[in-house]
Amino acid sequence: MELRVSKVGEVKVIEIQGKFDIESTEEFETLFQKQIESNPPIIAIDMNKLEYIDSSGIGTLIKSLNIIKNNKGNLILVGLNNMILNVFKLAKLDMFFQIMTNDEFQKKFASG
């Protein structure tokens, strides 16, 4: 897994590339903690180049969502491919996470 951090407007973006599994959760959590220092934090997880996510990766995203909600912030998942989006829908996680397409995200945050 590769992680890259950037900004779109006021939103910090964490791009995940490759596989998000048990071997990479600690690296993600460390990076995520560093990004929630702004108040209130808005973080987007760019999943365009994510090829695979297992239950550990999903669990880490749920944990991250809880952390950011406790900080009165917002977590947005962006650019999920159909396979990963279907996993989120089957587990009813789309009810908890704010999920956006690339276009929706760009329209809402890039111009502002």
Q: For strand 11-20 and strand 2-8, is the pairing parallel, antiparallel, or unpaired? A: antiparallel
pLDDT single digits (tens) 28-43 = 999 999 998 767 789 9
Helix, strand or coil, per DSSP, at residue 52: strand
Q: What is the mean pLDDT of residues 46-67?
A: 96
Backbone angles phi, psi at 53, to 5 degrees: -140, 135
pLDDT single digits (tens) 61-102 = 999 999 999 999 999 999 999 999 999 999 999 999 999 999
pLDDT of residue 39: 76
Domain 2-110 listed as CATH 3.30.750.24: yes
Q: What is the mean pLDDT of residues 41-58?
A: 96
Query: Hey, where are the domains in the chain?
Result: 2-110
pLDDT of residue 3: 97
Model pTM above 0.85: yes
pLDDT of residue 40: 78
- Please report the DSSP string for 8-33 in residue order: ETTEEEEEEEEEESTTTHHHHHHHHH
Strand partners, 44: 13, 76
Q: For strand 74-78 and strand 98-100, is the pairing parallel, antiparallel, or unpaired? A: parallel
